[in-house]
Chain A
Amino acid sequence: MANTSELAVCGVNDHEDEGNEFMTVNKVAKKDRHKICYKCRDINQKLIILFRNEAYCKTCYIDLIRKKFKPNLAKCRDASRPSRESENVVIALSGGTSSNVMLELIYQNTTNAQKSKLFFKGNCVYIDESSIYPNLKKDDIEVYLKKQCNLYGYPLTIIPLENIFGDNPENREHRVKMLKESVESFSSQTSREDISIFYREQLLRKCALELKAKRVIFGTSSVSLATKVFSLASKGRGFTLPNEVSISNQTEVGGDSIIFNQPMKEFILKEIYIYSRNVIGDLPTQFSSWNAPAKQSLNTLCEDFVHTLQDISSQTVYTLLRSADKLVTPTLDNNFYCSLCYCHLSTHDINHINSIKNVKSTNSNNNNNNNNCCSDNSSCSTTSTTNNSCCSTNNNNNQLSNDTLCYSCRILVKENRNPNLVLPKYIYENSKSILTTAQLKNEIKDFLLDDNDD
C-alpha cells in the first residue's frame, strides 16, 4: 500500500474523493515516466489521469473505459440471436452515477460505435421511490433522466413504486398508503430497505415482460456488488449469493424467463466518477438531505465496512468478488423459487415443500380474518369492487406460506408487526402457485420417470 499510494493510482486507496483524480500536468510531470500519454504517446496531449500507474490523456482514457465495457455488455446479449438482430432490453436507471455512466456506455457501444457495434434496443426504466423516501429529489432526477434519454434516443418509462399494488390511476393515494404500510410494518430498517428493493425488482421484471424484453440491465458497480457479497452472506443468503452478484442472473417464473444483468461489475467507483465528470458532467443530487440512521441497517453497515476495508487494502473489493466467482448457485428446480425475492430455493427448502402432505394446512403467514383489503377500510371502498383493485378482497388468496420463502425472507417476514398486513398480490400468487405445483407433482410422482433409471 505505502509504496503505491504516492502514485495515487486510479481507483485505489479511498472512495471519498471520487473523481478528484485529475492531475494537473505539473503534478504528473514530476515523474518522468508519466510525462506523456501511455497510449497515444502524443506529447501535445494534456494528461488527466493516472490509471493503473500509467498516465493517460482524456481521449485515451475514455476510449479505454468504453473498450472495457464492451465485452461485459456483450455478455448481456442472447448468444443464440443473430448478432445483427436487436435485442429488446430494459435499462434500469437509479438516478445514480453508475447507471448513468452505464447508459452512456451502452449508447456508445450500440448506437454511436464506429465499428462492430452491439445491437440492442434499449428501454430506460426509472422506478420512482419518492413515496417511501420523501427526501428524494424526484423532480430534479426525472427532468435530468428525461434529458439524458432524449439525448441518446431511448424511451424512458417512470414507474412509481406504489404501482406494486396496481396501476389504476384512480386510486393512487390508496396505493401509496398501502405501499407505506407494507414497508413500515417491518420492525427493522434492514427489512424495510430489503422489501422495497424486492418491490423495485418486481416492477422492473413486470415492465420488462410488458415491453417484451427478456433482460434488465443494472448499473451496479463493483463496490456495491462487493458490499452485496457481505450483506447477502450476513442475511443467510449464501445459497443465492453467487447468482445475485454475477453478471447474469436468470429467474424463471411461470414460464417467463427474466435475466438480470450487471455489466458494471468490473468497474470501480473511481473509474465511473472520472468518466462521468469527463464525459457526462454533473448529476443532480438525489436527496435533499440524507438522514439514514447510521448503524441501523445491515445494508449500510456492510457498505461502510467494505469501504473501511478498501481503505486498508485496495484489493478488498476485488478479492470479495473473486471469492463470489468461485461459488455457484445450483439450479435445482425452476418451479421452486422464493415467493418474495425470486431466488432459487435450496435443496432443503424444496424437500420441505415436497414433504408437505396437505397444502391447505401449511403454516400460513397472513391469515387476516377481516374482509377488507387493507387494515383500514375507510379509503378502500372504491377499489374493492373493481377488478383493478390493489389487493385481493378474497382472503383465501391472501395467504403467504412460509414454506415458499427462502431462509432469509422467512426472517424478514417474521419482523412484520402488523397482523393485518397486506402484501402485493404477486407474492400470494407465487406462494399459491408453488404449493399447487408441489402438490400436483406429489400426486403424480409415482408415474414420473426418473432420468437416472433408464
Chain B
Amino acid sequence: MSTATTTTTEQQKKKLCEICKVSRPILKRPKTGESICKECFYTVFEDEIHHTIVDNQLFKRGDKVAIGASGGKDSTVLAEIMTKLNKKYDYGLDLFLLSIDEGITGYRDDSLETVKRNQEQYQIPLKILSYKELYNWTMDEIVKEIGLKNNCTFCGVFRRQALDRGAIILGANKIVTGHNADDIAETVLINLLRGDIPRLQRCVNIVTGSEGALPRSKPFKYTYQKEIVMYAYFKKLDYFSTECIYAPNAYRGHVRDFLKDLEAIRPSIIIDIIHSGENFHFNEEFKMPVQGTCIQCGYISSNQLCMACELLKNLNSGLAKVKLSLHNKKLKSTNPQHQLDENNNQNNNNLEIKI
C-alpha cells in the first residue's frame, strides 16, 4: 500500500486480484466494488461472517445450534458456512439442521429433498418437523379453509413456534437463520411503512428471542444477498430456488424493487438502512408489551393465548376468516396483508407479539 505506484504497476494491478495481487480477478465484489479472485472472495466472505459471529458473541463453546434450513440459497449457504467456520475456528458447536414442513405440495416437499442431500453432505443431524404433526393442519389445508389472503400470517406464526419446538426436540439451545442484510433493510422499510414500532425495534437486532424463547441469531446480518448468491454459485452449492406457490407479492415486492433501485445508485444503501435502524431511538411511551406464557401451550405470549393457539382455535372452529379480520382491526394495521420473505422462507415479521 505504501509503496509508490508507477503507471506500469498500476496497469499490472488492474489485471490482478485487488486483494492477493497474484491471481486473476473473476468477480466484482458487490459490497466494495473490488475486483477479486475466487479464493479471495471465499476468504473475505467467510471472514466477515466469522467476525460478525465473534464480535457479537453469538455462540459459546458447547452450544447446540439448530440451523433453520429451508433448502433455499440463504439457508444452504448458512449450513455450509456454519460447518466450515465451526471446523476452521474450532467454535466447539454441535450443529443440527432443522426444517419445517409447512405442508405445501409441489414446493416444500421438493425443497426438503435438497435439505436431505445437504444433510448427507455436511453430515449433521436433520430434524424435519411438520405443521401437520404440530398443529394438525397443513398449509394446503389452511389455504383451502381461509383462501389466499392471510395465509402468510398463519404460516409465519406457526413457523416461528415450530422452529423453537423443533430446536427443543433436537436438544438445541440456539437457532440461527439465514436472514441477510437485504432482508433486514427491507424489513426496516416495511415496518416504517406499517408503523409497526415493536417490530421496527426488534428487526435490526442480531439476536432476538429471550425470556422463554430460544435465542435466535442472524450471522448474515451484514451479508449482501448478492454475495450469498455468488458464494452459492461459485461453490456450486445444491439449493432449491422456487418460490412458495402461496407467496403473495404485492407489498413486499414493491419495497424489494425499490430497494434494488436504490442499491443501483448507491451500493452501500443496504448497510446504510441497517445503520439507520440500529440508530433509531424510541419514544419512552412506546414500551414493549409484557411477556407471559400461553395458558394452552406454554409458549411465550403477551396475551393469555399465544398467536398460534389463537389462530388454531379459530381454524378449528371454522372461524378463521372472520376472526383474523377482527384481529386486524384491533391491530389497526394499515397494511394487514402479511407477506413473506420468499428467499429463505423465514418470516421476517414474526407475529408473536400483539399490540
Contacts and interface: CB of A to CB of B under 8 A. Distances in A.
Given A234-B272, A308-B254, A346-B279, A188 B265 contact: yes
Interface string B152-195: 00000000000000000000000000000000000011011111
Contacts, number: 106
Nearest to B286: A326
A233 B281 contact: no
Interface stretch (A14-22, A31-39, A292-300, A423-431): A292-300
A375 interface: no
Contacts of B277: 233, 238
B275 interface: yes
Contacts of B283: 325-328
A390 B7 CA distance: 37
Given A190-B265, A326-B286, A327-B280, A315 B275 contact: no
A328 B286 CA distance: 11
B79 to A, nearest CB: 31
Among B272, B273, B282, max chain A CB count under 10 A is at: B272
Interface string B50-83: 0000000000000000000000000000000000
B200 A323 contact: yes
Interface in B192-211: 192-195, 197, 200
B261 to A, nearest CB: 5
Interface in A159-188: 188
B281 A327 contact: yes
Contacts of B250: 312
A188 B282 CA distance: 32
Contacts of A83: none
Interface string A228-244: 01101111111101100
B192 A329 contact: no
A295 B261 contact: yes
A233 B276 CA distance: 5
B241 interface: no
B262 A298 contact: yes
A120 B318 CA distance: 63
Nearest to A415: B266
B192 A232 contact: no
Contacts of B195: 319-320, 322-323, 326
A230 B189 contact: yes
A341 to B, nearest CB: 15
A108 interface: no
B335 interface: yes
A420 interface: no
A346 B278 CA distance: 11
A289 to B, nearest CB: 23
Interface string A395-436: 000000000000110010000000000000000000000000
A238 B279 contact: yes
Interface string A323-363: 11111111000000000000000100000000000000000
Contact of B258 (A242, A305, A324, A329): A305
A234 B197 contact: no
B327 to A, nearest CB: 18
A42 to B, nearest CB: 36
A371 interface: no
Interface size classification for chain B: 35 or more
B268 interface: yes
A229 B265 CA distance: 18
B276 A238 contact: yes
Contacts of B251: 312
Interface in A21-68: none
A234 B275 contact: no
A301 interface: yes
Interface size classification for chain A: 35 or more
B268 A411 contact: yes
B269 interface: yes
A411 B334 CA distance: 34
Contact of B272 (A189, A316, A411): A411
A301 B269 CA distance: 13
B286 A233 contact: no
A381 interface: no
Interface in A275-331: 295-298, 301, 305, 308-309, 312-313, 315-316, 319-320, 322-330
A308 B191 CA distance: 17
B334 A326 contact: no
Nearest to B204: A238
Contacts of A324: 192
Contacts of A411: 266, 268, 272
Among B191, B194, B266, B334, max chain A CB count under 10 A is at: B266
Contact of A236 (B194, B275, B281): B275
A203 B265 CA distance: 29
Contacts of B258: 301, 305
A321 to B, nearest CB: 9
Among B188, B189, B192, B264, max chain A CB count under 10 A is at: B192
Interface string B29-58: 000000000000000000000000000000
Given A236-B272, A329-B281, A297 B192 contact: no
B30 to A, nearest CB: 17
Interface string B332-355: 001100000000000000000000
A443 B192 CA distance: 43
A349 B193 CA distance: 28
Nearest to A296: B265
Contacts of B279: 236, 238-239, 346, 407
Contacts of B275: 236, 238, 407
Contacts of A298: 262, 265-266, 269
Interface string B251-267: 10010001001101110
Nearest to B265: A298
Contacts of A295: 261, 264-265
Among A242, A308, A319, max chain B CB count under 10 A is at: A319
Contacts of A229: 192
B331 to A, nearest CB: 13
A327 B282 contact: yes
A233 B269 CA distance: 9
Contact of B197 (A239, A296, A323, A407): A323
A323 B191 CA distance: 8
Given A298-B262, A309-B193, 10 more contacts: A188-B266, A190-B266, A230-B189, A233-B192, A234-B273, A298-B269, A305-B254, A326-B197, A327-B280, A329-B281
7 contacts: A238-B280, A239-B276, A297-B265, A301-B258, A309-B254, A327-B283, A328-B282
7 closest Cβ contacts across the A-B interface?
Answer: A238-B276, A236-B272, A239-B279, A238-B279, A236-B275, A319-B195, A233-B276
Interface of B: 188-189, 191-195, 197, 200, 250-251, 254, 258, 261-262, 264-266, 268-269, 271-273, 275-283, 286, 334-335
